[in-house]
């Protein structure tokens, strides 16, 4: 395996692009914008069927970017690992608080 150097600004830009993609997935799943304030909150708010889709997309990006776009491949691997940590830990406090607030507003 060859060693690759990924510059922080390039990595951050790739994470931002992946975050936008995850926000699109969340929006299609009916997740309110208020639950997508950060990457972590977006991941936590995704329903199970969307989590599966997101994981497959991130895995595909990681593999396809490979050697040609190492920053994107690295960013996709990072986001995929972060997603697994968030999903294995259950709903994050911000997402739970937002849902509780919405439920309390219902008539």
Domain limits, the chain:
8-97
Is the model's pLDDT at 100 over the cut of 80? no
Helices (H), the chain: 8-28, 39-45, 48-65, 70-88, 93-105
Q: CA-CA distances (angstroms) from residue 78 to 44, 75, 105?
A: 16, 5, 36
Per-residue confidence (pLDDT) for residue 96, from 0 to 100:
47
- State pTM to two decimals: 0.79
- Close Cβ partners of 95 (under 8 Å, ≥ 6 residues apart): 35, 41, 44, 45
Q: What is the pLDDT of residues 60-98, one digit of tens each?
A: 999 999 889 999 999 999 999 999 999 998 555 455 445
DSSP state of 69: S
């Amino acid at each position: 395996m060859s060693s690759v150097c990924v510059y922080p600004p390039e990595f951050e830009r790739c994470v931002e692009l992946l975050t936008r993609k995850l926000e699109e997935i969340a929006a299609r799943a009916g997740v309110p914008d208020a639950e997508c304030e950060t990457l972590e909150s977006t991941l936590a708010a995704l329903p199970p069927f969307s989590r599966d889709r997101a994981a497959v997309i991130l895995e595909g990006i990681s593999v396809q970017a490979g050697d040609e776009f190492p920053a994107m491949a690295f960013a996709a691997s990072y986001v995929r690992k972060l997603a697994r940590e968030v999903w294995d830990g259950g709903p994050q406090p911000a997402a739970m608080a937002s849902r509780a607030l919405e439920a309390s507003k219902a008539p």
